[in-house]
Amino acid sequence: MPKPLFEVKDLRVAVVDDFRLVKGLPGPVTDDGEQLEPGWVETLPGVSYHVHEGEVLGMVGESASGKSLMLMGAFGLLSSGARVIGGTTRYRDHVYQPFHPWSGEDDEGLRREYKERRVAGTTTAGYTDDAWAELVGTEVGFLFQDPIGSWTPDIVIGEQSGEALAEHTNLSIKEIEERVFDALGEVGLPKSGRLFRAFRHELSRGMAQRAMLAAALTKAPYLLIADEPLNGLDPPVAAGIMELIMDMQAKRGMAMVFVSHDLAVVARIADRVAVVYGGEMVEHASVTDIYHHPKHPYTAGLVGSLPGVTPGRLRTIDGEAQLLVDIDRGLCSFADRCSYATEICRSVAPRASVVGATEVRCHHAADLDLPGIRG
């Protein structure tokens, strides 16, 4: 089998927790040996995933399960209060380590440059690795959760849409503008100067998300990163955006990592699905196996909650998920909500194992016969 187009290995992410800060509890140690200050706590303990050319990987799970940290952390695109502390990201043959801290004589200048970079539909974060920055700037497109907030407020949409091309290619301004106009038309927006010169506050959420997709498409990307792209959209608008994403992915043959808490949406678009709980991928398999033959009790609960698909009453998951900062990594993070949990689940963290064609983190996966969407 050929190497994946995009691969993340052992990604570790830490966030600031006020409780630990007050208590003075020591922070974790990064992969390069840096001891973090009190208040930091590791929330992703080492996550790995990949996607091949033309393939769609879906990530599903409840809100605040760690899906966005897994996705955006791989590109070093985390908000303040979160940072990558370990792991590597590989795109094609280039390996990037997103956890390396700022250092050296240029430290303050690099920080200043990072703050001044514009983050729009085609992000160009302040990478110190020029080769990685060029690959991300020309071959990877992004769709963010907040389609309006992701645009810089005082820069027009057209300029932001073409900024990655302006920075990483030799295209003229006219050629870049032509690409932007063509992309706007491709996503069903007017190819007009009015829209090109619009600011973010002049767009609806649906228009802003279409414009972000257009910005991603200007690069003719090989990989599309979609982090809850339907979040906050009205159902008819969300359905239109979803159809557009599916059409563009099929037409261009893009690989995609698609994050959502909506299992029905993921079932339509994904080839493989990773189920996320407590900052870990607890199950990873094909769409068919995830929805019809789940191996993890959490996955069975998720697919049993799909209205209009599961016969009889919906199956629910008891209890509430713990905050990522409160999870004890020495035991199964789902044990308190699992009706199949035994003593080993409450005392030993399960390792990933393969059951059939499924990779799963559950002590009892091989012995359970769990219901899928058909009961």
89-107: pLDDT as tens digits: 999 999 998 875 544 444 4
Q: What is the pLDDT of residues 59-88, one digit of tens each?
A: 999 989 999 999 999 998 888 889 999 999
pLDDT confidence bin for 375, thresholds 50/70/90: low
Domain residue ranges in the chain: 280-360
pLDDT at residue 48 is higher than 90: yes
- pTM of structure: 0.90
Q: How far apart are the first and last CA of the chain?
A: 35
pLDDT at residue 10 is higher than 70: yes
User: Which residue is it, tokens 């992703």?
Assistant: 44
Q: What is the pLDDT of residues 341-354, one digit of tens each?
A: 999 999 999 999 99
Q: SS3 sequence, the chain?
A: CCCCCEEEEEEEEEEECHHHHHHCCCCCECCCCCECCCCEEEEEEEEEEEECCCCEEEEECCCCCCHHHHHHHCCCCCCCCEEEEEEEEEECCEEECCCCCCCCCCHHHHHHHHHHCCCCCCCCCCCCCHHHHHHHHHHEEEECCCCCCCCCCCCCHHHHHCHHHHHHCCCCHHHHHHHHHHHHHHCCCCCCHHHHCCCHHHCCHHHHHHHHHHHHHCCCCCEEEEECCCCCCCHHHHHHHHHHHHHHHHHHCCEEEEECCCHHHHHHHCCEEEEEECCEEEEEEEHHHHHHCCCCHHHHHHHCCCCCCCCCCCCCCCCCCCCHHHCCCCCCCCHHHCCCCCCCCCCCCCCCEEECCEEECCCCCCCCCCCCCCC
pLDDT at residue 361 is higher than 80: yes
Q: Taking residues 233-249, what's their average pLDDT?
A: 91
